[in-house]
Amino acid sequence: MLGITMARWLLPKQDPWSTPFAETLLSQLSLAPGLHILDVASGHGIPAFYLAEQVGSTGRVLGIDLSAGQVARARAIQGTQLPWLSFACHDVRTLPDELPLFDRITGNLSVMFFRPNREETLHGLIRHLRPGGQLVLTFPSLGTFDSLWQRVDRELLRRGHSAERERFHVYLAERPSAKDARRWLSAFAMIGIAVIEQPLEVVSGPGRAFLNHPLLRGGFLDDVYECFEDQRQADDMMRAISADLASFSPLIALRCVMSGWKAAAH
Ligand SMILES: C[S@@+](CC[C@H](N)C(=O)[O-])C[C@H]1O[C@@H](n2cnc3c(N)ncnc32)[C@H](O)[C@@H]1O
């Protein structure tokens, strides 16, 4: 029990993607007033605002994001509120040495951006974790939208797009899994490791509704388009697939949360 009653910065209920992932993150995160937290890939502040309210004015939260636009958006939402919360533009893969040590490091929907060397990025984060501190990250893990990927694969094969199919398989093979997460945390001697996956259904209509779905288009379908040199061919194939939504429904994502503690110094 934190003994904090204000709770003005709840996770946005209407967000069907970031909020469910953030809920899994918070289910593993140990929070208390006064903690210093680094939130990576902070976007427009999920869950940085929530965390800042929970740690209170004796704590500190720094949200970092690669995109200057996202940092500006987060700052605009913040205005003059929660002055112990700040946002800055940094690449999580190359954190500046002068960043201090944190009691907690969080990152909602972050691990997929640790490319190309996820272990190295993770190592960099753990270096900024205080001994006895906790790291909690979420990402859509291997298995996410597999019914869609199988449908895409069949269509690539049927249409004879062999080069595109090869690129697609490289993309598929590169997705991080819950098993990877456990292996990385163990390799860095983290303790109290927990890696948990929970299904999340993403609902869409067929056709344009599917192709322009804000979550699918931005985060996933673009990866298929990137396998094509000829974008008209990509569009043609994806339009056929979008009309066939029933054959790959339900669309299930796996919300994976990975948590570990850095051993306390002796
Ligand atoms: C899916 S959003 C998640 C944002 C927020 N945590 C949320 O849950 O809504 C991913 C964020 O990661 C940021 N990002 C991508 N690559 C990054 C990198 N290398 N370093 C830091 N942030 C990165 C993007 O700009 C984007 O704001």
Structural domain boundaries in the chain: 18-140+176-200+252-261, 146-172+207-243
Averaged pLDDT for residues 97-121: 96
What is the residue-averaged pLDDT of the chain? Answer: 95
252 φ, ψ (degrees, to nearest 5): -115, 125
What would the CATH number be for the domain defined by 18-140+176-200+252-261?
Answer: 3.40.50.150
In this model, does residue 24 exceed pLDDT 80?
yes
Name the residue of 25, 67, 89, 122 to mutate for ligand 1: max ligand atoms within 8 A of Cβ: 67
Of ligand 1's atoms, which has the minimum distance to the CA of residue 113?
A: 16
Look at residue 218 in the predicted model and tell me its pLDDT. Answer: 80
- pLDDT band with cut points at 50, 70 and 90 for residue 1: very low
Structure confidence by residue, pLDDT tens digits, 187-235: 999 999 999 999 999 999 999 999 999 889 888 999 999 999 999 999 9
In this model, does residue 43 exceed pLDDT 80?
yes
> How many residues are given for the chain?
266
Q: Is 193 in the pocket of ligand 1 (CB under 6 A)?
A: no
With a pLDDT cut of 70, the percent of the chain lying above it is: 97
CA of 266 to the centre of ligand 1 (A): 35
In this model, does residue 120 exceed pLDDT 70?
yes
Of ligand 1's atoms, which has the minimum distance to the CA of residue 15?
A: 9
Of ligand 1's atoms, which has the minimum distance to the CA of residue 93?
A: 19
- pLDDT band with cut points at 50, 70 and 90 for residue 265: confident
Averaged pLDDT for residues 169-197: 97
Of ligand 1's atoms, which has the minimum distance to the CA of residue 114?
A: 19
Inter-residue long-range contacts of 97-101, CB under 8 Å, 24+ positions, other chains counted: 99/38, 99/62, 99/128, 100/36, 100/128, 101/36, 101/128, 101/129, 101/130, 101/133
| pTM for the whole structure | 0.94
Q: Is 11 in the pocket of ligand 1 (CB under 6 A)?
A: no
